Amino acid sequence: MDNAWSESEMKRERLKILLPSLREKERYVRFKVISEGPIQYSDLEAAVWNLFLDFYGELGVSELSLWLIKNLWDEKNQTGVVRCNNKSVQKVVAGLGVVSRLGDTRVIFKILKISGTIKGLKLK
């Protein structure tokens, strides 16, 4: 049988890497959760995603490039970091300000710092 695809065509080509000037620029927002009791990361993640989806919709959240960074969540100090693109920082800050409850616990998000790098947040 004659195969329609040659062996060279079957090899997957790698995607070309975007130039730095064409990449989406990122910002990191460090926040502190002030609450009546301790907050688990899983509860925080679910509440933030659900609230942002309700508030901005799927298209709006995709434009934010929103991502909670799990390994930077500090359970003891209740601080965390959210990554977004540079054009949507104000929307992310506003969205975090809308969060008032995580489950049955009342919470307030306090924005500590906004930076272009994780190192710039001076995590200790």
As a whole number of angstroms, the distance between CA 120 and CA 101 comes to 29
Question: Per-residue confidence of the chain (124 residues) as pLDDT tens digits?
Answer: 555 655 555 566 778 888 988 888 999 999 999 998 899 999 999 999 999 999 999 999 999 999 999 999 999 999 999 999 999 999 999 999 998 888 888 999 999 999 999 999 986 5
CATH code assigned at 82: 3.30.70.3250
Let me know if residue 27 belongs to a domain: no
CA 102 to chain centre: 18
Burial track 87-97 (b if 16+ CB lie within 10 A, e otherwise): ebbebbbebbe
* pTM, to two decimals: 0.81
Per the structure, the complete domain to which residue 63 belongs is given by 41-116
Closest CA to 30 of 76, 77, 83: 83
Let me know if residue 123 belongs to a domain: no
Let me know if residue 33 belongs to a domain: no
Let me know if residue 82 belongs to a domain: yes
Let me know if residue 105 belongs to a domain: yes
Let me know if residue 89 belongs to a domain: yes
State the residue for tokens 């709006």: 60
Q: How many domains, in total, are found in the chain? A: 1
Let me know if residue 90 belongs to a domain: yes
